[in-house]
Amino acid sequence: MSFLKMLSNKFKMPDADNALPGRDTPIMTPGNHFVNGQPIDGPYPTGMKELYVGMGCFWGAERAFWSIPGVYVTAVGYAGGTTKNPTYNETCTGQTGHTEIVKVVYNPEDVTLEQLLKVFWERHDPTQGMRQGNDVGTQYRSALYLTSQEDLEVANKTAETYQKALQDIGNSATITTEIQRLNTFYYAEEYHQQYLAKNPDGYCGLGGTGATCPLPVTMKATQG
């Protein structure tokens, strides 16, 4: 395959027939969170909810969420594509359809979905399509995957709010974030989990637009 063709593949979502097949066996066995010691894959306490966010490289994105009061545990992985249990190298080819994702498990009594989405919108640029800064390819696209129809509606409303916030600061770019119900989330390799806690000087490409996402007036304040 030529270099130009490989590069073009990184910007184009593969169809199911051309995606890499992957494997039936997970590529890692989740253990405990490196920072807070909670079990990455549960069981979670009763009442916990889940949010899945794609903000470019998942190293910095995960760090943005694990210290938020009310967040029980975080993990990184892949979602939005076709390939089963993909590896990082496979995802980087653009032939899995997956984007790099942070799984956020949180207590809605302590932090609201809107508050978490405010962090999502403000900490990256959701207008860049198949890239985030210097990171290019389908695996870096902005994405929100929700686990209920109610949460999906909330996410879409905050996208409308943030689009207006961009316009208010003179940014005419259109949000390209993929917003949909979660299909399947696959955990990434162990060395990617909480990477920046293990490697404090590691790469973090996270950067926002400068626009502030207004909080809904009905949103309750964070407790604790």
Token pair, residue 82, equals: 């076709």
Instruction: Name the residue type at position 30.
Output: P
Residues 6+ apart with CB under 8 A from 73: 33, 36, 38, 39, 40, 44, 66, 105
Structure tokens at 155: 């996410």
Residue 57 appears among annotated catalytic residues:
yes
Largest CA distance in the chain: 55
Q: Find the catalytic residue in 57, 92, 204, 213.
A: 57
The catalytic site residues sit at 57
